[in-house]
Amino acid sequence: MKLIVREIPPRPAWTLEQAGIHPLLAQLYAARGVQDAHELDTALAHLIPPAAMKGTADAAQLLADAIGADKKICIVADYDCDGATACAVAVRGLRLLGARHIDYIVPDRVQDGYGLTPPIAARVKASGADLLITVDNGIASFEGVAAARALGLQVLVTDHHLCASIDGQITLPAADVIVNPNQPGCSFASKSIAGVGVMFYVLLALRTELRQRGVFAATEPAAGGSAPPLAGLVPPRAQPRLDALLPLVALGTVADVVRLDANNRRLVAQGLKRVRALRLPAGLAALFIASARDAKTATTFDLGFALGPRINAAGRLSDMTLGIECLLTDDEQRALELAKTLDGINQDRRQIEGQMREQALAAAELLFEDASQAPPAICVFDPEFHEGVVGIVAARIKDKLHRPAFVFAPSGATGHSHELKGSGRSIAGFHLRDALDLVAKRYPGVLLRFGGHAMAAGCTIAREHFERFEQGLNEVAQEWLDAATLMRRLDTDGPLKPEYRRVDLVDLLHHEVWGQGFAAPTFSEEVEVLSQRLVGEKHLSLKLKHQGQPIDGIWFGHTESLPARVKLAFRLDADSWRGERKLRFLVEAAEL
């Protein structure tokens, strides 16, 4: 697959430099569209206020009434890291705010499928709950919400996924309250907030409601308050701090790969600030230990590539209850035991993924060889695939072949052996969830269930409809994607100035918040390759000459030799050897 490395057009950075921002950071931020230093202020006071998110006020009243009546609350979570952290934030936050009876249920990926279903609603009712709260799911759970309401449960849906469209009309489940920035009529500016962020905002609104009801000490009840003070909470108590939840919010936000707009960057920055100060839950501290990372120098990379996968592994191969319990426990020994268990599950996940990735890539590349023209989208199925890993494998195919990719595996749900579970990943310019919606309209009955975002989506189909789905997706891709879009490009920050070739700048860059939609700094230019050798049989170690100066480089996961002169895309990294830190280039790609 040919790669074109291109530079992000430079933008004026002098206003940021005048505000005291390091010249390199000013250059990088300006290239990412930051025009004012205010956008970089991560103070909590600059968060979008909770009242701006539709439904938070109603949710706060519902929850405050439930706490006042001492009702039992049950959280219905999702089985990925966003869902797990959202569940932990909900349980911890509601306890801080006075709820005494809280439980949670997390659907099993294989047995239950995704979201709030009628059987899950029945389990919640059987647990004795009065109020059901969904986190990171529920916006498309029409049957599950209806079943819960029919059983007498109150239902609060908190979600961030796109709403379902039926016959061209946005349709919402009949919950008591819905909080979702992507629902019609919501003016909340950060549409890309993660599910854990939505739940955090609900808690902020709840605290405000409780404060207005006179629950907290040294606070006068607001005139004309919506309800009297809560029974059982008199005399008023100190207002709890919710910032202790921010490390969990940061983890879920980064792990869910949502776009890091200004509001999300503030949430992540505040979470990292507390992690680095070792003000973090015992489970997060244990996950840093289990992944051999240092919490005192934590980065978004640690959250996304070390902690997040270990939480996700539980939902993919085992039971996400393990991940949630790790995030909920305050017992350091118990946390460490759970973190080590999650680390072991993650190692199993990597082994399964590796085997599936080789098979799936071979099948995908065969599609290219057999076709007179490379297909614009890729669909792969194998009866031996594990449904818990299909999303990761789809991402690997998408990255290598630069095509929207879906990977399917047999559904393990009881009574649904004829069904396939698919997970897809997309490229810029192809909205995956909208594409599924169009396939569903053109091929009625093929998609049994679907949902997701622009870059990631999932669906369930009957096994006999695999070819029809493949045909439908490729038709949409053929219409939406042109040759230029299907050419893999890597946007970079251009050449690295010689004065920035310093090891101390590695720490400066690592300290900042980078991620989806706000890419980590990647530089590119032609270098001379002085020598190269394989290390560990799968990594290319390099001796380079950059602007006349020698420097080390490493290209992880790459084994093919490079020419004597080549244009590389690289990030700045530091390598420690015998107590000395040296700058090196972490190679991301080469234009060959």
DSSP string, 56-73: HHHHHHHHHHHHHTT--E
pLDDT-derived band at 2, boundaries 50, 70, 90: low
d(CA 225, CA 227): 6
pLDDT-derived band at 235, boundaries 50, 70, 90: low
Mean pLDDT of 181-194: 97
Report pLDDT for 227: 52
Residue in this structure with the two tokens 């190692």, named with its chain if needed = 347
Put the strands of the sheet holding 456-462 in their side by side order. Answer: 378-381, 405-410, 419-425, 456-462, 447-452
Report pLDDT for 243: 97
pTM: 0.91
N-to-C CA span, the chain: 10
Q: Which domains does the chain have, with CATH numbers?
A: 3-40+490-591 (2.40.50.460), 45-280 (3.90.1640.30), 371-486 (3.10.310.30)
211 and 233 in contact (C-beta within 8 Å)?
Answer: no
| Cis before 235? omega within 30 | yes
DSSP alpha helices (H): ranges in 213-299?
A: 246-255, 262-276, 282-290
Mean pLDDT of 170-188: 97
Structure token pair of residue 72: 């039992």
Which residues fall within 8 angstroms of residue 290, CB to CB, at 6 or more apart?
310, 336, 339, 340, 342, 343
Report pLDDT for 321: 96
Sort strands 523-535 and 539-546 into parallel, antiparallel or unpaired.
antiparallel
d(CA 500, CA 512): 16
Report pLDDT for 4: 76
130 three-class SS? coil
Residue 261: how many CA atoms within 13 Å on its side-chain side?
12
Report pLDDT for 223: 43
Report pLDDT for 111: 80
Mean pLDDT of 548-576: 94
pLDDT tens, position by position, 105-127: 999 877 887 889 999 999 999 99
461 three-class SS? strand
Which residues fall within 8 angstroms of residue 260, CB to CB, at 6 or more apart?
253, 268, 513, 514, 515, 516, 517, 518
Structure token pair of residue 16: 């940021």
From 253, 356, 353, 357, select the one nearest 313 (Cα to Cα). Answer: 353
515 three-class SS? strand
Report pLDDT for 360: 95
pLDDT tens, position by position, 285-323: 999 999 999 999 999 999 999 999 999 999 999 899 999
Q: Does residue 231 have a pLDDT over 70?
A: no
Report pLDDT for 413: 57
With b for 16 or more beta-carbon neighbours within 10 A and e for fewer, the 429-460 pattern comes to: ebbbbbbbbbbbeebeebbeebbbbbbbbbbb
Q: How many CB atoms lie within 10 A of CB 115?
A: 25
pLDDT tens, position by position, 262-274: 999 999 999 999 9
Structure token pair of residue 310: 């270990």
d(CA 543, CA 547): 13
Region of poorest pLDDT, from 158-167, 295-304, 439-448, 496-505 = 158-167
451 three-class SS? strand
Q: Does residue 232 have a pLDDT over 50?
A: no
Report pLDDT for 233: 44
pLDDT tens, position by position, 380-438: 999 999 999 999 999 999 998 999 999 999 987 544 568 999 999 999 889 999 999 99
pLDDT tens, position by position, 219-229: 444 444 455 55
